[in-house]
Each structure stands twice: as C-alpha cells, then as structure tokens.
Chains A and B, each alone.
Chain A
Amino acid sequence: SAVISQKPSRDICQRGTSLTIQCQVDSQVTMMFWYRQQPGQSLTLIATANQGSEATYESGFVIDKFPISRPNLTFSTLTVSNMSPEDSSIYLCSVAGTLADTQYFGPGTRLTVL
C-alpha cells in the first residue's frame, strides 16, 4: 500500500483563522479523499479531491469553508477556513486506486480551535 504523510500532525489555532493541511503520497493514486473525525465519533467524508478540477463535496460541506486543491496525483491540500471551536477534529486524507478499492488513511491532523 502507498505511504501517506500529512502536515501538520497537529495544531492549535485561534478562531477566525484558517489552516491548510497537506497530504502527500509516495506514489500516484487515482482517488484522494478528505474525512473529518470529531472527538469520539466516526469518520465523515468531506469531499473527493479531483485532480485538475474542483473537488466533489458531500452534503453539509461547502467549498468556501473547506477549499481543496489537488494539483497532481500525489498531493492534495484541505483548508479549514474561518475556524470555530466546532471545527476541532481530526482531519484525515485517504487514497485508493479506484472508487471500488480499499482506502488507505494518512496519519491525520489533530486540530484544536480555541
């Protein structure tokens, strides 16, 4: 399976600011996804990061709040904009070869908003 890294691994931010999370894969992958895991909760899909085009967002998530970039097949960024304490979560990227394949997760970014 691919080796996935995320930066930063954790951060503490002030409300109203924005944070950009990076996801880097050691090989080209077709599918990249961004998830949120709120404290003690399960994983919720935010969006599918599409290479060369706008991300596909799930219900309840909008581009203005979570802009995503995917400039190539090994890298993606997720920005959490205008943060509030409710955005405190673990943000995870995952990758897959195809839409039906197993997804492998990065180590996650633990975000705390004060």
Chain B
Amino acid sequence: GQQVMQIPQYQHVQEGEDFTTYCNSSTTLSNIQWYKQRPGGHPVFLIQLVKSGEVKKQKRLTFQFGEAKKNSSLHITATQTTDVGTYFCAGQNQGGKLIFGQGTELSVKP
C-alpha cells in the first residue's frame, strides 16, 4: 500500500541552528499537509501544499513540494525553543485518504 517515509526520526539542535525534515511518498500525491504536535498535545495544522514545485513560507518555516508531487520538506531557519515538538507530514492520495509519515521529533537546546 501507499507509504509516506519521513526522516530523520529525531533531530537535536542548538538554538539558532537550522532544521530540515524530509518526506517521500511511494506514489504521486494529490497534496501534502504538515502538522506540528507539541509534547502532550495534538497535531496542529501548519500548511497544505497542492501544486507541483510549490514553495510556501511562514515566518522562519519554509515548505516545499517536489516537482513530481512525491516528496516534500520543511525547513526551519534559526530554531527557537518554541519550535520543539514532532513535525508530521501527511500525504493525501487521489482517493482522499491521509497517510501520515512517522514524524520528526525536534529538540532544541537553549
């Protein structure tokens, strides 16, 4: 079945360093959604990418969707302690089902 692979599983950075997490789907996606889950919290929607090659920015966060609509990345510039949490990508297939990646847990050392 369709799979969405996400790497790395864990990332420990010093505050101020950059962070990137990558997602790769086994099949072409209709869109990809990104969520952030703080420790003890629930997934909170960040952004949805729909178009091939799309790039969107939210302050220090940059999201990219690959040309083939099979991969995506989230890059955080100059991490802060408030960025701590697990970042999930979720690929949506043509049938509408959302397949979540395994998540990348980010810890930031002050």
Contacts and interface: CB of A to CB of B under 8 A. Distances in A.
Interface of A: 1, 33, 41-45, 59, 90, 92, 99-100, 102-108
Interface string B86-106: 001010100111101111000
Given A42-B88, A42-B103, A43-B88, A103 B98 contact: yes
A102 B31 CA distance: 10
B96 A103 contact: no
Interface in B17-61: 30-31, 33, 35, 41-45, 48
Contacts, number: 42
A59 B99 CA distance: 13
Interface string B62-92: 0000000000000000000000000010101
B98 A45 contact: yes
A70 to B, nearest CB: 17
Contact of A102 (B30, B41, B48, B100): B48
A106 B44 CA distance: 9
A43 B48 contact: no
Contacts of B88: 42-43
Contacts of B30: 100
B89 to A, nearest CB: 10
Given A42-B88, A43-B88, A100-B30, A105 B44 contact: yes
Contacts of A108: 42
B45 A42 contact: no
B9 to A, nearest CB: 10
A1 B46 CA distance: 12
A100 B98 contact: no
A103 B33 contact: yes
Considering residues A45, A92, A103, A104, which has the most beta carbons from chain B within 10 angstroms of its beta carbon?
A103
A104 B42 CA distance: 10
A92 B44 CA distance: 12
Nearest to B1: A59
